[in-house]
Amino acid sequence: MGQPAQPGAASQAVAPRGPGPAATAATSEPLLRLRGVSKHFGAVQALYGVDLDLPSAQVTALCGDNGAGKSVLTKSIAGIHQVDEGEFWWEGRQVHIRTPRDSAALGIETVYQDLALADNLDIVQNMFLGRERLRAGLLDEDSMERAAAETLAELRVTTVRSIRQPVATLSGGQRQAVAVAKAVMWNSKLVMLDEPTAALGVAQTRMVLDLILRLKDHGLAVMVISHNLNDVFEVADRVAVLRLGRMVAQGSIAEFDSQTVVDYMTTGVSDRRPGAGRGDPGRD
């Protein structure tokens, strides 16, 4: 208790660097814990000593204005960027994520709005891309088709006409659903979605938000980036706010309302939140 970025009392704004995961009871260990993560690109410092906890069976919304560092943080967890400094703890063990392969091997799946799928392939092919099932040296189409259909049904994705339809013919929301279903099928433990609803209409957004909740019901840790605070408040259990590369607030959704999140996003402080009001004293 009393450590930064823990639920409850410790989830104040701008948690000071804590004593580290070793002092935490195993039961309260989040699936992924980042401590002091920094990343720069040339003269641009994109992340400054970022702490982040992503617990299983919870949705964490990562909020922040344009350029705050959300995508850089996501790509650092996905192994696309190598961080300059900082620690990654996975299920209580310190790990190093240096490549997308490292990230995938841990059970981390990242879903991007446009980049996740191969347009010219159908749904089944996309879901098994690079991990195709073989039988007697041939692709086992029947078994792959069955597994893909079962996963989509389990997630109650019902609007897709045929799982043999090329992904290029799907709507934005359906593509998103296939990308999420792929993550579920491969037993991921953490799914990160970078702006999954940005380009979607009302009904498709609804479908993706429902999917996010189902991932959580399956026990997965979910991190979702969204500029839409309505979406955030609908699905998130936790909120983390980045501003200019710094984590300025993190805690249970119950401690925030929309205005508080906006305050943190724009100024780094909020006097509306109990126990908060002290922002980052540092210089920008």
Q: Which stretch binds ligand ATP (CB under 6 A): 5-13, 40-48, 87-95, 135-143?
A: 40-48
Q: Which stretch binds ligand ATP (CB under 6 A): 65-73, 103-111, 255-263, 268-276?
A: 65-73
The binder of ligand ATP chosen from 22, 25, 27, 41 (CB under 6 A): 41
- 284 belongs to the binding site for ligand ATP (CB under 6 A): no
- 66 belongs to the binding site for ligand ATP (CB under 6 A): yes
Helices (H) and strands (E) in the chain, counts: 8, 12
Query: Is 12 or 71 the residue whose CB approaches ligand ATP more closely?
Result: 71
CB of 247 closer than 8 Å to CB of 17: no
CA-based torsion, 133, 134, 139, 143: positive or negative = negative
Q: How far is CA 49 from the centre of its chain?
A: 19
The binder of ligand ATP chosen from 13, 46, 97, 157 (CB under 6 A): 46
Among 249, 233, 238, smallest CA distance to 32 is for: 238
Q: Which stretch binds ligand ATP (CB under 6 A): 61-69, 150-158, 176-184, 200-208?
A: 61-69
Task: State the nearest-atom distance from the C-beta of 69 to Mg ion, in Å.
Answer: 9
CB of 104 closer than 8 Å to CB of 60: no
Task: State the nearest-atom distance from the C-beta of 86 to ligand ATP, in Å.
Answer: 15
Task: State the nearest-atom distance from the C-beta of 81 to Mg ion, in Å.
Answer: 13
CB of 204 closer than 8 Å to CB of 173: yes
The Cα 2–Cα 141 span in angstroms is: 53
Query: Is 44 or 153 the residue whose CB approaches ligand ATP more closely?
Result: 44
The Cα 278–Cα 259 span in angstroms is: 16
Q: How far is CA 14 from the centre of its chain?
A: 20
**Count of residues touching ligand ATP (by CB under 6 A):** 11
- 71 belongs to the binding site for Mg ion (CB under 5 A): yes
- 70 belongs to the binding site for ligand ATP (CB under 6 A): yes
Query: Is 124 or 244 the residue whose CB approaches ligand ATP more closely?
Result: 244
Query: Is 18 or 36 the residue whose CB approaches ligand ATP more closely?
Result: 36
Contact letters for Mg ion, residues 161-200 (x by CB under 5 A): ----------------------------------------
CB of 262 closer than 8 Å to CB of 228: no
Residue with tokens 């659903």: 177
CB of 106 closer than 8 Å to CB of 96: no
Pairing of the two strands 32-41 and 85-90: antiparallel
Q: Select the binding partner of residue 67 from Mg ion, ligand ATP, none (C-beta < 5 to 8 A, by kind).
A: ligand ATP
The Cα 93–Cα 87 span in angstroms is: 10
Task: State the nearest-atom distance from the C-beta of 60 to ligand ATP, in Å.
Answer: 15
The Cα 277–Cα 182 span in angstroms is: 42
- 67 belongs to the binding site for ligand ATP (CB under 6 A): yes
The binder of ligand ATP chosen from 13, 72, 185, 276 (CB under 6 A): 72
CB of 88 closer than 8 Å to CB of 82: no
Question: Which pair of tokens denotes residue 199?
Answer: 């380009």
Chain residues that interact with ligand ATP, rule: CB under 6 A? 41, 44, 46, 64, 66-72
- Binding residues for Mg ion, rule: CB under 5 A, are 71
